[in-house]
Structure 1
Amino acid sequence: MAVQERSAQGRCVCVTGSTHGIGYAMAEAFARAGARLVINSHLPDNGALEKLSALTECHFIQADLSTVEGARGLVAEAAGRLGCLDTLVNNAGTFRDVDFEDLESENFERTFDLNVRGYLFASQAFVKALGPDQDNPSIICVGSTNSLAAEKNSVIYDTSKGAVLMMIRSMAVTLARRGVRVNGIGPGIVETPLTRKGLDSGDTRRILKAQIPMGRIGEPDDIGEAAVFLASSGARYITGQMLYIDGGILANQMSWEEQQ
């Protein structure tokens, strides 16, 4: 942990969609590692600003990243508040899938506007805001195991996360000569305020845990320190990669035995 603390000390980080859940856990991990922060939501800060300000310098910017103007504006304001930005963490996302027969263009547009377009234009603004001699700038995009493995009745969300995976690779190749690293984190099933209702529905929690090799649902804190590592000098030769944090879900073949 000491290496991570030194590598993030004083570095300037913007984490989108970061007032709760995975986004907040990543922001908190950066704060504990000594980074200066901008957090974001399209809603009020939900007390996150006060909690993180007890750990580090932290600013909250309310912005809707589903619009190009919102994405670009957030990054520009974040760089202005902190003086520069060393790392952008694209995390803000949404899930709007319904039964396949009931899908409408609005479901598609609202999902892709935030999950894909928001990531792209926030990243573009980040690169434009970089100084000429900035050390180890990086972009981290939060994807999902759904970028590689499909989920029933999740066609639009799965497709958006597949797009994020290719965006990471393409931006990494495009920006490498400019010294900008681009990587992703692909969470599996993680308990957050957004997923808790579904996990607590019927026997869902037991059924899912039985299929995860490590035998438990993920927690937001499982994601946070991975983000700090990917932004650190310890990851200076890592780009174009998606780090899946899923308790072994993607590594697991179908079992011939009844799961306990």
Structure 2
Amino acid sequence: MDKYFKEKRILITGGCQGIGRGIALELWRQGAHVVVLSNQPENLEKLKKEYPTIETTCVDLRDWDKTRETVDSLGTFDGLVNSAGVAIIEPFFECSPESFDTTMAINVRAILNVSQIVAKKMIENNIKGSIVNISSQASKAALKDHTAYCASKGAVDSLTRVMALELGPHGIRANTVNPTVVLTELGRKVWADPAKSQDMLSKIPMGRFGEVQEVVNTVIFLLSDSASMITGVQLPVDGGFLAT
């Protein structure tokens, strides 16, 4: 796959930390022209200092019009990874309209918005591109206190299937990657307490949480021509969580 990504332009939302950063760096290592879009100026600046050839752009994905303007100004892409996301942890009875709307705006609506611009340019330039949306095992299984998050990831899966259906005739593929708990820097802190992690780990047949690189490898595969006949798929990276 190394040769496949050389000189290709890939846009990654939420690409300056966690899984998104891991994807950005792997694509950079494989020779892609990487553009990272985020609303975190400090993390973008840090990424740019460490990797000067990675292009960075700051925008709030909740702003529909500004996001469209920004993405349109970035030009044409061969691939897109919608990695930006938010998890507001609230139980069903305490889930507020503000939390729900924010979650949907970032986790779902932003994917629609960014993908519309990128896919339209792919079609105009006859690019047989690939779009990968970061979903979650929470799209398939209810997680306690994750009301808005579960709802949003279910919507991501459904949106992606429609994208696959309508973009397929243009040679554009759309898939999701659905991880379990992933041990990003934040994930390690959140799940360090055995009292918190034991219940979740007991539901994962492989007995451990995921590593960032395991998700990255799956995304890279789906972006590449090694997955040329795969579209409309929700691919779990969950150690068997959804098999139980």
TM-score (norm 2): 0.93
- Superposed, which structure 2 residues align to 1:233-252 within 5 Å? 233-252=225-244
Q: Which of 199, 203, 216 is 1:224 aligned to? A: 216
- Aligned-partner residue type, residue 116 of structure 1: V
Q: Which of 54, 72, 78 is 1:76 aligned to? A: 72
- Aligned-partner residue type, residue 50 of structure 2: K
- Aligned-partner residue type, residue 137 of structure 2: T
- Aligned match of 1:145: 137
Check if 1:34 corresponds to 2:42: no
For structure 1, the residue ranges without an aligned partner over 5 or more in a row are: 253-260
CA distance in 1, matches of 2:138, 2:198: 20
Helix, strand or coil: the match of 1:25?
Answer: helix
- Aligned match of 2:94: 102
CA distance in 2, matches of 1:74, 1:186: 27
Q: Deviations over 1:58-100 (max 9, x none)?
A: 1010111122124323322332xxxx21111111111123132
Structure with more of its chain in helix, by fraction:
2
- Aligned match of 2:21: 24
Helix, strand or coil: the match of 2:128?
Answer: coil
Q: Which of 8, 14, 17 is 2:5 aligned to? A: 8
User: 1:187·1:246 contact (CA, 8 Å) conserved in 2?
Assistant: yes
User: 1:136·1:236 contact (CA, 8 Å) conserved in 2?
Assistant: no
Identity of aligned residues (%): 33
Q: Which of 50, 56, 61 is 1:65 aligned to? A: 61
Helix, strand or coil: the match of 1:250?
Answer: helix
1:102, distance to aligned residue in structure 2 (A): 1.9
- Aligned match of 2:122: 130
User: 1:28·1:224 contact (CA, 8 Å) conserved in 2?
Assistant: no
Larger radius of gyration, structure 1 or 2?
1
- Aligned-partner residue type, residue 48 of structure 1: L
- Aligned-partner residue type, residue 184 of structure 1: T
1:209, distance to aligned residue in structure 2 (A): 2.9
In structure 2, relative to structure 1, the CA distance for the partners of 1:93 and 1:70 (3 Å cut) is farther
CA distance in 1, matches of 2:7, 2:47: 20
1:133, distance to aligned residue in structure 2 (A): 4.5
1:192, distance to aligned residue in structure 2 (A): 2.0
Helix, strand or coil: the match of 1:64?
Answer: coil
CA distance in 1, matches of 2:200, 2:110: 31
- What root-mean-square deviation, in Å, do the aligned CA atoms of Structure 1 and Structure 2 show? 1.7
Check if 1:210 corresponds to 2:202: yes
User: 2:128·2:171 contact (CA, 8 Å) conserved in 1?
Assistant: yes
1:202, distance to aligned residue in structure 2 (A): 5.0
- Aligned match of 2:47: 48
Q: Deviations over 1:198-247 (max 9, x none)?
A: 20235223443333222221111111121111111111111111111111
Q: Deviations over 1:87-145 (max 9, x none)?
A: 11111111123132222110111000111100001000112222645342111111001
CA distance in 2, matches of 1:221, 1:62: 25
CA distance in 2, matches of 1:40, 1:133: 22
Q: Which 4+ runs in 1 deviate beyond 4 A? A: none
Mean alpha-carbon deviation: is it higher for 139-148 or for 197-206? 197-206
User: 1:86·1:134 contact (CA, 8 Å) conserved in 2?
Assistant: no
- Aligned match of 1:257: none
CA distance in 1, matches of 2:98, 2:124: 41
Question: How many aligned residue pairs are there?
Answer: 242
Check if 1:120 corresponds to 2:112: yes
CA distance in 2, matches of 1:196, 1:208: 14
CA distance in 2, matches of 1:217, 1:202: 12
User: 2:122·2:128 contact (CA, 8 Å) conserved in 1?
Assistant: no
CA distance in 1, matches of 2:150, 2:205: 22
